[in-house]
Structure 1
């Protein structure tokens, strides 16, 4: 089958698990350029419309990797997948039979592309911790009163930005899981705790310089990270019962810092 270089863990995807596949758009560009036949006509047209090299490469690697990964879970040819945008832009599988087997979400920041896969609705967001944000203005628009107080209780702009991005990725993950985008008021989504009225939310650093969050149902028990360029063994496990943010080591199966 095309895309056979991507191998799933032998136990597959169990209920309560989230698998996150993290790809580097710079490192994987050449490989994905050879696989553009996996893409739909609409995806090819959109790919050709990017003026920025980074935007082009991110979309290319994201779409090719998405098709390869989901094709593996569904045991079908990547180019046979029909993927469309939902009401608020969330990509979904068109065929109901396939959608009943697997849920996914896509996010990217700088050169990192992440794809989350689960049996139940899942949301995933990743951001660069170097992203320039107007914390004051954005906090008024998207954070609750309690979250704004927590952000500005930190001393120094770096600590405030780190807190803001943690909350923001958590809100984005919830909105993306629910497929509603910013049609829902983000100030009404409280994300400070791991178990919330919005389900379970966990944050972690997938690699230095990035912060990510996953939103799942109350059944979420395990988050495993994979690299599509390095086989079926997890590059990291997010300890979902912890409350601090782990940094996931790429060379072993556990966090290398707290």
Structure 2
């Protein structure tokens, strides 16, 4: 499903998982509203980026995260508090800690995942020319994934690489493992096969739900929930979404 097809209507109760697509290309006024809801700690982190566009992308994506979490929890986005897990994965602090979330952004597009069925990970990438896709795959992915990628017609390799990459990153982010989980320790399917976890060291691939996403023009993404057959609904923040911020 492309970003243009994602519903912008009210999401309804969060029984399983949700993935939101967010357009980060905002006006100066919209960016200013985003900065107004961030904590001092988030503002400090934004200021560490050297490029102004990276600072703006951090502020807008984290403001969108706060807005979406606030909608799910019926809470003021400014009052949400966060903590981090052992591997540094952010989590809600206090009584809302049962709601898992994850954020990813690339270019002018962000994804926000929410879940009450298990840990969730999302990843989005702007598709771009990648002449060394096969070299990267052989150096970092599982052997069966690299072989499947190399078997594709040349014209399909780049798109399949980004689909594969986002599926793997979504799994890693759901686990909160960071760099401690080598990408060769598990395998996922490649397009045109349906997204699924094929194997994972020390675990059961059947205990996972994977979803292929196309959150906006020129992008590909994925969502992974550490729960079998998890329900996942898709939503989009409407144009002018910063106006909904307090």
- For the superposition of Structure 1 and Structure 2, which TM-score range results when normalised by the shorter chain? 0.7 to 0.9
Q: Is contact 1:26-1:57 (8 Å) kept? A: no
Closer, same or farther: CA 43–222 of 1 in aligned 2, 3 Å: closer
- TM normalised by structure 1 equals 0.77
> C-alpha separation between the residues in 1 aligned to 2:197 and 2:48?
41
1:55 equivalent in structure 2: 54
> C-alpha separation between the residues in 2 aligned to 1:154 and 1:135?
12
Correspondence 1:63-82 to 2 at 5 A: 63-82=62-81
> C-alpha separation between the residues in 1 aligned to 2:235 and 2:141?
28
Select the residue among 198, 202, 207 that pairs with 2:216. Answer: 207
> Is 2:196 the counterpart of 1:194?
yes
Q: Is contact 1:22-1:226 (8 Å) kept? A: yes
Cα distance, 1:133 vs structure 2: 6.5
- TM normalised by structure 2 equals 0.81
Query: As a proportion of its length, which structure holds more helix?
Result: 2
> C-alpha separation between the residues in 2 aligned to 1:7 and 1:28?
23
Correspondence 1:21-32 to 2 at 5 A: 21-27=20-26, 30-32=29-31
Q: Provide Cα deviations, 1:79-131, integer angstroms capped at 9, x if missing partner.
A: 21112333323221122x2011x111000111111111121311111111116
What is the number of residues matched between the two proteins? 220
> C-alpha separation between the residues in 1 aligned to 2:130 and 2:183?
20
Q: Is contact 1:114-1:126 (8 Å) kept? A: yes
Cα distance, 1:141 vs structure 2: 3.0
Correspondence 1:3-18 to 2 at 5 A: 8-9=10-11, 11-15=12-16, 18=17
Uncovered stretches (5+) of structure 2, i.e. residues with no partner: 1-7, 190-194, 199-203, 242-246
2:128 equivalent in structure 1: 130
Q: Is contact 1:121-1:177 (8 Å) kept? A: yes
> C-alpha separation between the residues in 2 aligned to 1:121 and 1:28?
33
- Higher RCO, 1 or 2 (CA under 8 Å, sep at least 6)? 2
Closer, same or farther: CA 44–219 of 1 in aligned 2, 3 Å: same
> Is 2:145 the counterpart of 1:147?
yes
| RMSD, matched Cα | 2.3
Q: Is contact 1:125-1:169 (8 Å) kept? A: yes
Q: Which runs of 4+ in 1 moved over 6 A?
A: none
Uncovered stretches (5+) of structure 1, i.e. residues with no partner: 1-5, 232-258
